[in-house]
Amino acid sequence: MPYEAPTHTVERSLRATTGAKVIAGVDEVGRGAWAGPVTVCAAITGLRRPPAGLTDSKLLTPKRRDALIGVLEDWVTAYALGHSSPEEIDELGMTAALRLAAVRALEALPVRPDAVILDGKHDYLGAPWQVRTVIKGDQSCVAVAAASVIAKVRRDRMMAEIGEQGGGIEDFAFSANAGYPSPVHRSALEEQGPTEYHRLSWSYLDALPRWSHLKKVRRSEESLELENGGQLGFDF
C-alpha cells in the first residue's frame, strides 16, 4: 500500500518559530500489551535525507523493519531508549509510566534536545520539555518515524529474548506477539497464570477467574500525591 514519506516540515517549523537547534522525535510502543514494558525511543536526525522506505513502524512488515533498523541506527545523529516496567505501569498508570520512559530516553541522549516532537495529540511529557504534538507524527515526521521503527524493533527483540527463557515462558509465544493479546497468549495465561512480566492491573485478568485474585488495583492520584508530600512528579 503506497504511503507518503515523512518530511522535516515540523522540524523546520520548530527551528523557525522557537529557535530550537536540536530536536528529538519521540514515539512509544507497548502501550496496549498485556506483558512487558512500555518502551519509548527518542531520536535526533537533523535535516538529512532519510533512508528509503522510512515510515511508521506499523506500516512496515517485520522483515522490512529488521532491514531498516540496521540502516537507521547508523543514520540517526543519536537515539536512546527508555522503558517503564510492568510494575511501574501497575503502580503509576500508563500516562505517568509513558512520561517516565520518555524522560529516561531523553535524558540518555548525548545532548539535551531544545524541543521534542511527540507522536499523538496528548502531551504526556510536559514541562520542562518544549513539546510539539503531531497526530500521526510517526508517518509525517522523519525523527518520529525513526523513533517509531527503533522502538518497535528493539522492544520486539527484548520480548523475544524473554520468551526464550524456558520454564513455561515459551508457551506465551512472546517472540510472535511481543506481549500483546493473542489466542496463544490467552491460552497460556489461562493455564499458567501471569508471569513476572505481566501487567497485573490490566483488565484481561477479569476474564480469568482462576487468576483474577492477582489483579492489582492502582492507587488513586490523591493517595500518590499525599505519599509524595503533595508533589506527584508525574503528569497523569
DSSP string, 110-148: SS--SEEEEESS---S-TTS-EEEETTHHHHBHHHHHHH
Residue 20 has a pLDDT of 95
pLDDT band at 224; cut points 50, 70, 90: very low
CA 155 – CA 151 distance, rounded (Å): 6
**pLDDT value at residue 217:** 84
Band of pLDDT at residue 219, cut at 50, 70 and 90: low
Q: What is the pLDDT of residue 148?
A: 96
In 3D space, the residue among 41, 33, 5 whose CA is nearest the CA of residue 202 turns out to be: 33
Give the mean model confidence (pLDDT) for residues 64-79: 94
Q: From CA 5, how far away is CA 42, in angstroms rounded?
A: 20
pLDDT at 166: 83
Which pLDDT does position 3 carry in this prediction? Answer: 65
pTM, whole model, 2 decimals?
A: 0.89
Query: Using one digit for the tens of pLDDT, what is the confidence trace for 112-160?
Result: 999 999 999 999 999 999 999 999 988 999 999 999 999 999 999 999 9
Neighbouring residues of 141: CB distance < 8 A, sequence distance ≥ 6: 6, 7, 8, 9, 10, 11, 25, 117, 119, 134
Coil, strand, or helix at residue 154?
Answer: helix
Q: In the structure grid, which three cell numbers stand for residue 133, read together? A: 504534538
Q: Is 119 exposed, middle or buried (0-12, 13-18, 19+ CB in 10 A)?
A: buried
153-196 pLDDT, tens per residue? Answer: 999 999 999 999 888 999 999 999 999 999 999 999 999 999 99
pLDDT of 233 strictly over 50:
no
All 3 cell numbers of residue 166? 524456558
